[in-house]
Amino acid sequence: MLKRSDVVKLVRVVDETREIEISCDECFERLDSYAETELSGLDARTAMPLVGDHLEKCADCRSNFEGLLIALRGT
């Protein structure tokens, strides 16, 4: 039996699904450009909305992105 919290999560995921999305592999291929855009002071989410959407939904890719930012900043 599904718990209410599981149903709420499922409905949220369906609601957030867009007609065009990218996979984790595609996101990973674009992470360097996304990070460089963000570090340059530009709005990376506006420049690369599909990557931004994916990072918002995917904890694994977001973790990779945050690690990349740390490495590029040298901190």
Per-residue pLDDT of the chain (75 residues; tens, 9 = 90+): 778 887 777 767 666 666 688 999 999 999 999 999 999 999 999 999 999 999 998 999 999 999 999 999 986
Here the tokens at position 69 are: 């930012």
Phi and psi at residue 3, to the nearest 5°:
-80, 155
Distance of CA 40 to the CA centre of its chain: 18
Q: What is the pTM of this model?
A: 0.73
> Domain boundaries in the chain?
21-73
**C-alpha distances in Å from residue 46, one per residue of 41, 65, 74:** 12, 16, 25
Contacts of 52 (CB under 8 A, 6+ apart): 34, 44, 45, 46
Residue keyed to tokens 């963000």: 38
